[in-house]
Amino acid sequence: MKTPMPMMQAKDIDDEGVWRKGEYEISLLGSKIPIPENVQDQKTQERGLFIVEAKDHFQFCPKCRASPVIGIVIVTESVQLFPAKCCDTMLWFKKGEIVNGLETE
């Protein structure tokens, strides 16, 4: 048995959409990505379909307003994930609307 999967953090996701943490190395493209409860519709996880450049989506980071925006957006069937390295936040979008990640922890 492997150790329980740690929480995904934006800083551990590279520009190819590969998430690395400890013994884990998972390409989110083509893999099932766990979706937070308040973001998901019915599915608890969805496959990463493709990756786009974050700067094509945002003028600045929706959370910390850093500009220019660096990084990628991972697109699944119904949601989009922007791992914002500028503020190490996993920002989730549905139909272009931000649905999770803006609250401070």
Q: Where does this chain bind Zn ion (CB under 5 A)?
A: 61, 63-64, 66, 84, 86-87
Nearer of residues 17 and 63 to Zn ion, judged by Cβ = 63
Nearer of residues 35 and 86 to Zn ion, judged by Cβ = 86
Nearer of residues 24 and 60 to Zn ion, judged by Cβ = 60
How many residues appear in the chain?
105
Nearer of residues 30 and 68 to Zn ion, judged by Cβ = 68
Give least dist CB 6 to Zn ion, A: 21
Give least dist CB 61 to Zn ion, A: 3
Give least dist CB 72 to Zn ion, A: 14
Give least dist CB 36 to Zn ion, A: 18
What does the alpha-carbon distance between residue 103 and residue 105 come to, in Å, rounded to a whole number?
6
